[in-house]
């Protein structure tokens, strides 16, 4: 394991794994508790439209994906809260429209998009320094917002109706939470890709929730679990010459199954 650190691309990949785990550990905790897992999937697929627009404009696709995913998150929230359209319908519409826009934008772009596969399925081994800096900045924003509104997010996650009664602006907090999910999606895109973001966003928190229900402990355990599993998947993919994003997701899935068995064994 130590010898692979002599390569700069592996050092960058490890840093990306840690930064991604911080985002998914914090935001994934609220996603799992509030049972809005598929919103993460909807936002991630809608963000593909931003990646396609980035190719068309000749701008870093991840940079364009930030406002695109934020607008998608706000769109899901606005449609589900302000109209009679159900939340899953709003997710489905923006999910497919975002993907369709991405395909259209890429088809209109001159030349060939050589790293498109990496955005779809992850390419943690090719994360440049600019993307690492952007991931660090987005992590800082996520941590700051959660620290500022920790009580409101926690109250809303467990009982939205009661939170509204005691004066918590639940609609605004819900939209803000969706924005945090969208920022997390952008952080995770280079690690596991648009298609598999939902796994890294939810599985570490789902594993950790089986062993604690304290929010702060759950976040810390989710971050630690994410780091261990992501780095393990990265090492396995490098050693066996496998696709990094897919290997990380398979390691996450295997760890979740193991945690279920462990929980059952401990409880019996």
pLDDT of residue 232: 93
Q: What is the pLDDT of residue 268?
A: 64
Q: What is the reported pLDDT for 40? A: 81
Q: Considering the domain 2-260 in this protein, what is its CATH number?
A: 1.10.3470.10
User: pTM for this one?
Assistant: 0.85
CA gap 81, 77 in Å, rounded: 6
Q: Looking at residue 77, what is its pLDDT?
A: 81
Q: What is the DSSP string of the chain?
A: -GGGGGSHHHHHHHHHHHHHHHHHHHHHHHHHHHT-HHHHHHHHHHTHHHHHHHHHHTS-HHHHHHHHHHHHHHHHHHHHHHSSS-HHHHHHHHHHHHHHHHHHHHHHSSS--TTHHHHHH--GGG--HHHHHHHHHHHHHHHHHHHHTHHHHHHHHH-HHHHHHTT--HHHHHHHHHHHHHHHHHHHHHHHHHHHHHHHHHHHHHHHHTT---HHHHHHHHHHHHHHHHHHHHHHHHHHT--HHHHHHHHHHHHHHHHHHHHHHHH-
pLDDT at 227: 93
pLDDT attached to residue 141: 92
Per-residue pLDDT of the chain (268 residues; tens, 9 = 90+): 566 667 787 888 888 889 989 988 999 999 888 888 888 888 888 888 888 888 888 888 888 888 888 988 888 888 877 777 777 787 888 888 888 998 898 888 887 766 777 777 777 878 888 888 888 998 999 999 999 999 888 888 877 777 777 777 888 888 898 899 888 888 888 777 887 788 888 999 999 998 888 899 999 999 999 999 999 998 898 888 888 888 999 999 999 999 988 888 777 6
């Amino acid at each position: 394991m130590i010898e692979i650190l002599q390569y700069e691309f592996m050092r960058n990949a490890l840093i990306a794994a840690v930064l991604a785990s911080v985002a998914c550990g914090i935001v994934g905790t609220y996603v799992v508790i509030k049972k809005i897992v598929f919103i993460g999937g909807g936002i991630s697929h809608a963000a593909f439209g931003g990646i396609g627009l980035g190719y068309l404009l000749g701008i870093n696709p991840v940079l364009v994906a930030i406002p695109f995913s934020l607008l998608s998150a706000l769109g899901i929230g606005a449609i589900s809260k302000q109209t009679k359209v159900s939340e899953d319908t709003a997710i489905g519409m923006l999910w497919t429209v975002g993907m369709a826009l991405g395909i259209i934008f890429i088809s209109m772009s001159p030349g060939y998009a050589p790293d498109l596969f990496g955005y779809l399925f992850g390419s943690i081994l090719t994360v440049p320094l600019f993307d690492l800096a952007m991931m660090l900045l987005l992590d800082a924003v996520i941590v700051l917002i959660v620290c500022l509104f920790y009580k409101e997010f926690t109250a809303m996650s467990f009982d939205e109706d009661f939170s509204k009664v005691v004066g918590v602006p639940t609609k605004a907090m819900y939209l803000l939470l969706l924005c945090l999910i969208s920022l997390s999606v952008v952080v995770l895109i280079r690690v596991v890709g648009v298609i598999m973001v939902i796994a890294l966003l939810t599985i570490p928190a789902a594993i950790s929730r089986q062993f604690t229900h304290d929010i702060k402990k759950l976040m810390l355990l989710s971050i630690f679990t994410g780091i261990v599993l992501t780095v393990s998947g990265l090492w396995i993919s490098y050693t066996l010459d496998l696709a990094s994003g897919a290997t990380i997701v398979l390691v996450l899935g295997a760890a979740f199954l193991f945690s279920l068995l462990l929980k059952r064994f401990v409880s019996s």
